[in-house]
Amino acid sequence: MRRAAGIVLWLAAVAAALAVFLLLPHLVSDFHTRDLASAGAFFIAIVGLNLLTGYTGQISLGHGALMAIGGYTTAALVVHEHWRDVWTIPLAGLAAGIVGFVVGIPALRLSGLYLALATFAFAVAMPSLLKKFSGLTGGTQGLRFLESAPFQVTGLKGTVTVFGHTTTQNHFLYYLTWGIGLLGFAVAWLIVRGRFGRAFRAIRDSEAAAASSGVNLAAYKTLAFAISGVYAGVAGSLVAIQSEIVNPLSFTVLLSILIVVGAVVGGLGSLPGLVLGALFIQYLPSIAAHVSTRQGVPEFVYGAAIIVVIILLPGGAGGLLRRLAAPLTSRLYTRP
Partner 1 sequence: MLLAFDWSQLAQQTVIGLSSGGTWALLALAIVLIYRSTGVVNFAQGELAMLSTFVAWSLVHHGLSYWGAFFLTIALSFLGGVGIERAVIRPVERAPVLTIVIVTLGLVFVIDGIARWGWSSETRSLPNAFSTRPIDIAGVAFSIQDLGNIAVSLGVVVLLGLLFRYTKLGLALRAAAVNPQESRLLGVRVSWMLALGWGLAAAMGAVSGMLTAPALASFDQNLMQPVLLYALAGAVLGGLESPIGAVVGSLLLGVFVNLVGTYVGWVGNDLRLPVALVIILGVLLVKPSGLFGRTAVRRV
**Binding region for partner 1 (CB under 8 A):** 53, 59, 106, 109-114, 116-118, 120-122, 124-125, 128-129, 131-132, 206, 208-209, 257, 260-261, 264, 268, 294-307, 310-311, 314
In the complex, minimum distance from the CB of residue 274 to partner 1, in angstroms, rounded to a whole number: 15
Distance CA 132, CA 231 (A): 26
Whichever of 53 and 237 has its CB closer to partner 1, that residue is: 53
Return the CA Rg of the chain.
Answer: 20
In the complex, minimum distance from the CB of residue 182 to partner 1, in angstroms, rounded to a whole number: 26
Of 273, 252, 251, residue with least CA distance to 263: 273
Q: Which long-range contacts (CB under 8 A, 24 or more apart) does 324-330 make?
A: 328/9, 329/9
Whichever of 37 and 260 has its CB closer to partner 1, that residue is: 260
Whichever of 122 and 172 has its CB closer to partner 1, that residue is: 122
Whichever of 117 and 191 has its CB closer to partner 1, that residue is: 117
Whichever of 83 and 302 has its CB closer to partner 1, that residue is: 302
In the complex, minimum distance from the CB of residue 135 to partner 1, in angstroms, rounded to a whole number: 15
In the complex, minimum distance from the CB of residue 304 to partner 1, in angstroms, rounded to a whole number: 6
Whichever of 112 and 194 has its CB closer to partner 1, that residue is: 112
In the complex, minimum distance from the CB of residue 104 to partner 1, in angstroms, rounded to a whole number: 13
Mapping DSSP onto H, E and C, the string for 123-191 reads: HHHHHHHHHHCHHHHCCCCCEEHHHHCHHHCCCCCCEEEECCEEEEHHHHHHHHHHHHHHHHHHHHHHH
Identity of residue 41: A
In the complex, minimum distance from the CB of residue 258 to partner 1, in angstroms, rounded to a whole number: 9
* 278-308 burial: b if 16+ Cβ within 10 Å, else e: bbbbbebeeebeeeeeeeeebeebeeebbee
